[in-house]
Amino acid sequence: MVINDLKQVCPQCRGMGFQAGISRMGISEPNVGGKCPKCAGRGFLLTSLGRDLVDLLRPFMAELIEERARARERGVPAGGVPATDKSGGEV
């Protein structure tokens, strides 16, 4: 599997993520935010395989984020080891 199996270049902005104007019903309007409305400024769209992978990983990522937040509340840094002072005692 390669990255191109998971995403494709946005056909509307051609991978730039930016679109100066938008044509609606034959009338060209300025795009105030500048982001491409089709890809939300990312420059790519996920393929069906990419969407499936995101759906598979989303619960695991949510769990990891919750674990990190709980650890931060307890004062444990991201690595999981409590902070110590120079003498080796916990801070």
- CB burial of 51-87 (b: ≥16 within 10 Å; e: otherwise) equals eeeeeeeeeeeeeeeeeeeeeeeeeeeeeeeeeeeee
pLDDT digits (tens, 9 = 90+) for 42-80: 999 999 999 999 999 999 999 999 999 999 898 876 665
Per DSSP, 70 falls in state H
Nearest CA to 53 among 9, 6, 8, 3?
Answer: 6
Structure pTM?
0.58
Question: Does 82 have pLDDT greater than 70?
Answer: no
Question: Does 40 have pLDDT greater than 70?
Answer: yes
pLDDT of residue 4: 84
Question: Does 26 have pLDDT greater than 60?
Answer: yes
